[in-house]
Structure 1
Amino acid sequence: MATNRNTLGKGLGKGLGKGLGKGLGSLIPEDISGDNIVIKEVVKEIIVKEPSEMKLKISAIEPNREQPRRFFDEDALIELSESIKQYGVLQPLLVQKKNDYFEIIAGERRWRAAKLAGIKEVPVIIKDYTSQQVMEIALIENIQREDLNPIEEALAYQRLIKDYRLKQDEVAEKVSKSRAAIANSMRLLKLDERVQQMVMEDMISNGHARALLIIEDGDKQYLIAQKIFDEKLSVRETEKLMKEINKPEKVKPAKPMNDFVYRDLEEKINKIMGTKVSIKNKKEKGKIEIEYYSREELERIIEMIESIQ
């Protein structure tokens, strides 16, 4: 039994030494008889526990359809592709095996840029995750790199809460943010869909979008968002505009039911006095205002009143 163990140890050491840099298949030596199955299991365990970097054809790799990020800056991709042409892909993609392809868990931007650069193979690390873990890793990577726009980030939080039944504080812990930050982010999903699209396309900023939350009507939100974009309003100017729009309208006091009686009296006195007369009434009390526009007219009105005596 001791001989078998020594043989196994020597063979594995020899196989691992010969196999470095020659692919996973070369890690399994062909010259060990009887213990080949055991060695395969040992190597398999090593690979699963400590996945190593390897290269895959870029055509065998596909993006994660559930990836939170939807928009990629074309200019930034072109810039990265030029760097990749010179130095290659410096950081491996994290992928997992699907039926007939490998799905990207983290590194879609590098994959896109590599395709633009005409690279045929890219470095990868293959791991196996649950759908929730994939979502969390993609979200965390994008947040750390500040690659997500505010709406994409809010949608990712919403999905973790709805699809995987996480609480806001659990999501906050996973992405190293406060619970209030998660709640404030998700409030943006209350905006009209057209306004959300404008945020995703960087037509208006996160600050503009938060200011618009004061307005509940979707059509009104969209019209103001267009005004912000067209007039290039700053966030501060937008907040000021929101305060003006949201001011409660001054309610004019309702006229009394018998108001027509006083208006009729006003007309009669106007004809008698030859100038504008207003009757201000409040319940049973009130006052009469007589307007004049010159000293001469004032003297005429006084003479008229004195003549009544």
Structure 2
Amino acid sequence: MTEKKRGGLGRGIDAIFSDFEADEINSENVVEINLNEIRPNPYQPRKEFDEASLDELAQSIRENGVFQPIVVRKSVNGYQIVVGERRFRASKIAQRKTIPAIVRDLDESQMMEIGVLENLQREDLNPIEEAQAYQTLIEKLHLTQEQISEKLGKSRPYIANYLRLLTLPPKTKQLLTDSKLTMAQARTLLTFKDPNKIDQVAQMVVDQGLTVRQLEKMVAQPQPKTSKKNTNKKSPFIKETEEQLINKFGTSVRVVDTKGGKGKIQIDFSSTKDLNRILELLNISLN
């Protein structure tokens, strides 16, 4: 088992899952664990669980039991779920006392990687959950966008576009989470830099049922002229720096070159909670 742990990160999610499948074939490795001893994976990217889907799964479990064991790891107080939180939740709804499980010897990083990537491969996360999952892999496991794209078989621009959604203001994020806005509409709204403007137009899109094409026409309308200082083209280095900072902090970042080798960096935040998140990324503690 030590050899597996040493090669866990970077092996690829398919390789790790193949280990699980091999274990599941051997029924001796499956044990029944009391549900009250199990805790959810703290790195579970899915925050919204469809109640109707869970009830349907719970009914199946009542009639047929749990066919596929969940995967857990031992923790200080019982067990933590690595894979299978839907089955765990549905089993609780079905009022089962135990659930079949495979106990794996995984460290914190491996549990995070497997839990996040497994959910991303299922492709049923909402856009904000998916974006936050990518951000977790970048912040906690120090993976690059390129590494994430290789693991998931998705292009780097695809990953970058989702990460940009994290710069949306909270009200617009919620509209996207609630499926009142589409991914394409949300990306178009990012053209506006003012968070209040984004929220205003986003609500207009919802209220008036505007299509992406109609929204694009609105965005293409001439904007108020800005001073020459603000219209100066940014160098490729400044643009790349801004992109890296946006991916790092998950919010809008502007790098301004004021000439003479001097400049400033502006990092936007939408709430006190958001500010504390950014301070944590900078290893700044106000306690």
1:22-171 correspondence runs (5 A): 52-171=29-148
Letter in 2 for 1:79: E
DSSP-derived class of the 1:180 partner: helix
The secondary structure found in structure 2 opposite 1:184 is helix
TM-score (norm 1): 0.60
Offset from partner CA, 1:99-128 (integer Å, 9 cap, x none): 121101111111111111112111111112
The DSSP-based 3-state class of the residue aligned with 1:103 is strand
Letter in 1 for 2:201: I
156, 161, 164: which is aligned to 1:184?
161
Deviations 1:214-239 (A, max 9, x none): 11110111111111222222333332
For residue 220 of structure 1, what is the aligned residue in structure 2? Answer: 197
Which string of whole-angstrom CA distances, capped at 9 and with x for unpartnered residues, describes residues 47-84 of structure 1? 9xx88222111111110122111111112211221222
Structure-to-structure mapping, 1:191-270, within 5 angstroms: 191-244=168-221, 247-248=222-223
Q: 1:89 is paired with a residue of what secondary structure? A: coil
* Percent identity for Structure 1 against Structure 2: 42
Quick check: 2:29–2:102 contact (8 Å CA) kept in 1?
Answer: yes
- Secondary structure at the aligned position of 1:203 is classed as coil
The separation in 2 between residues aligned to 1:139 and 1:105, in whole angstroms, is 9
Report how many aligned residue pairs link the two structures.
201
Displacement of 1:93 = 0.8
Does the 8 A contact of 2:72 with 2:80 survive in 1?
yes
Runs of 4+ deviating beyond 4 Å = none
Over 3 Å counting, the alpha-carbon distance change for 1:197 and 1:250 in structure 2 is closer
CA–CA separation in structure 2 for the residues paired with 1:202 and 1:105: 27
Code of the aligned partner of 1:53:
V
User: CA 1:117/1:234 → structure 2, altered by over 3 Å: closer, same or farther?
Assistant: farther
Deviation at 1:191, TM superposition (A): 1.0
Q: Which has the higher contact order (CA 8 A, sep 6+)?
A: 2
Distance in 2, Cα, partners of 1:120 & 1:152? 30
Aligned to 1:301: none
Gaps of 5+ in 1: 1-46, 252-309
The TM-score, its normalising length taken from structure 2, stands at 0.65
Q: What is the rounded CA distance, in whole Å, between the counterparts of 1:174 and 1:250 in structure 2?
A: 44
Once the 2 structures are TM-superposed, how far is the Cα of residue 147 of structure 1 from its aligned partner? 2.4
Structure 1 residues 248 and 221, CA, compared in 2 at 3 Å: closer, same or farther? Answer: closer
CA offset digits 1:180-200 (Å, max 9, x no partner): 211111111111122112212
Contact in 1 for aligned 2:169/2:195 (Cα 8 Å): yes
How far apart in 2 are the matches of 1:78 and 1:233? 34
